[in-house]
Chain A
Amino acid sequence: MARIIVVTSGKGGVGKTTTSAAIAMGLAKRGHKTAVIDFDVGLRNLDLIMGCERRVVYDLVNVINNEATLNQALIRDKRCDQLFILPASQTRDKDALTTEGVGKILEELSKDFKYIVCDSPAGIERGATLAMYFADDAFVVTNPEVSSVRDSDRMLGILSSKSRRAENGEEPIKEYLLLSRYSPDRVKLGEMLSVDDVQEILSLHLLGVIPESKSVLNASNSGTPVILDEQSDAGQAYADIVARYLGETKPHRFIEEEKKGLLSKLFGSK
């Protein structure tokens, strides 16, 4: 049976799709057969981040409506043969999704995939609630600012009450906190909430901190999941997160301000 992971946040623009792409690629690179599904019907983005936008023929809604088979709609990643992408429809809206349809797709995927990553749209409406309904694990992506933290809190409430596990009285969804766009120097100046602040409010297990990084935008623009940029801090942060999720112990990084060496101080380079 596959493990179903939902990447969610409530608020938009915090890095859900970036995280979904990176996590899915990370799991696949470690040899686990992984599928990543875009639930943002009408505002399809995951295919761009994954760099497969020119290979989309069928989508999630086609499969739900029995207009295509799952195998026809799944796109195999060119860089990693363990990774498959199921894109969203750009011409429909979220009402095209049904609980039964999504359930059927996830059940079928569960047969031969190890991990299924569901990229949730922003908001708490149909797309978002369906993305998390069948989940086993939830990655809650939060930016270190108050509105994002509150929206995440709201999402956590929905996760614990409106999922399949909650409705059937099974073991609750495992929730993990991913703090993205973190910049230690702004925390130091008091312009940003610290890791401790966010954890105090959300009381959630911290899976990792992703630093604010230029490499994320570059990766998105070029259609490469940022985890493949092994030189970048964000790429390394995601690699750590995947390792921790798989049960390895890795010390948290990118929480403290980087100590600048004498040379970089002198020349003011970054």
Chain B
Amino acid sequence: MSTGAPTSQKTALEFKSTSLTVPVLLLASNDISLIDQQLKEKVVQAPEFFKNSPLLIDLQKLNAQNLPIDFTEIVAIVRQHGFMPIGLRGGNEQQNGDALAMNLPQHSLHGSNVPLVNKAPAKTLPTPAPEEQKQASQSIENKLVTQPIRSGQRVYAKGDLIVTATVSAGAEIMAEGNIHIYGSLRGRALAGVLGNVNSRIFCSDLQAELISIAGIYQLSDDLSKHPAHKPVQISLDNQTLIIKDI
């Protein structure tokens, strides 16, 4: 390690700190088959949502009740269901050791009253975490659909979704970002499905069955006062959907 690097050399890297929102799996039972079954049920409800999702595994509840569990087994199950575990928190010495052996870092419990048995956060390997976090946060893929979306079809976009044709009654379109529809919208449109409250829906003819932004929705009954055949944009303001002419 040479400390006296020439000053003219360009900086190739930089350490920064960032905070991310990551789903946490808080286990309340050490029954492996029960966990497996309930995970499966959850994933079936929203397969796209959970696919390749980063996941932090939290064992503090189990350890508080002294319920033993094999961390490697949990990681295997979680991976089977399509999650990407990015670490452990609230684990005991054995579990933390298992995590390190699998190159999974430990995370500290902020403001938790469960005592950390192994006080060695400085020892954790910092490399895997930023790498995987970056992958998870940078996967914006916009989607363009030029064919009519027919009744019974579902379209999902990881970024923005742009439809240049009609969305029929009984069809469902979802996007993690914004939705733009240049035909008539007669089906269901759900923008910001991962909770992005700043996403919007733009459409040239609003006759939708349902519109939703970040889980806040309105049905066609509530929409009927808005005239069809008029371009509108829908945004979310303080938990209320606002429909405005463009």
Contacts and interface: CB of A to CB of B under 8 A. Distances in A.
Question: What size tier do the contact residues of chain B reach?
Answer: 10 to 19
Grouping DSSP codes into helix (H, G, I), strand (E, B) and loop, the B interface class, with mixed when no group exceeds half, is loop
Interface string B161-194: 0000110111100000000000110100000000
B148 to A, nearest CB: 5
Interface in B106-147: 147
A150 B147 CA distance: 17
A161 interface: yes
B150 interface: yes
Contacts of A154: 150-152, 170
A43 to B, nearest CB: 24
Nearest to B171: A157
Contacts, number: 36
Interface residues of A, number: 11
Most buried by A among B147, B148, B170, B171: B148
A105 interface: no
A160 B147 CA distance: 9
Nearest to A155: B150
B153 interface: yes
A201 interface: yes
A160 B145 CA distance: 13
A153 interface: yes
Nearest to B169: A150
A158 B151 CA distance: 9
Contacts of B147: 160
Contacts of B150: 153-154, 156-157, 160
A158 B168 CA distance: 13
Contact of B151 (A157, A200, A203): A157
A157 B165 CA distance: 13
Interface of A: 150, 153-154, 156-158, 160-161, 200-201, 203
20 contacts: A153-B151, A153-B152, A153-B168, A153-B169, A154-B150, A154-B151, A154-B170, A156-B150, A157-B150, A157-B151, A157-B168, A160-B147, A160-B150, A161-B153, A200-B184, A201-B166, A201-B168, A201-B186, A203-B166, A203-B183
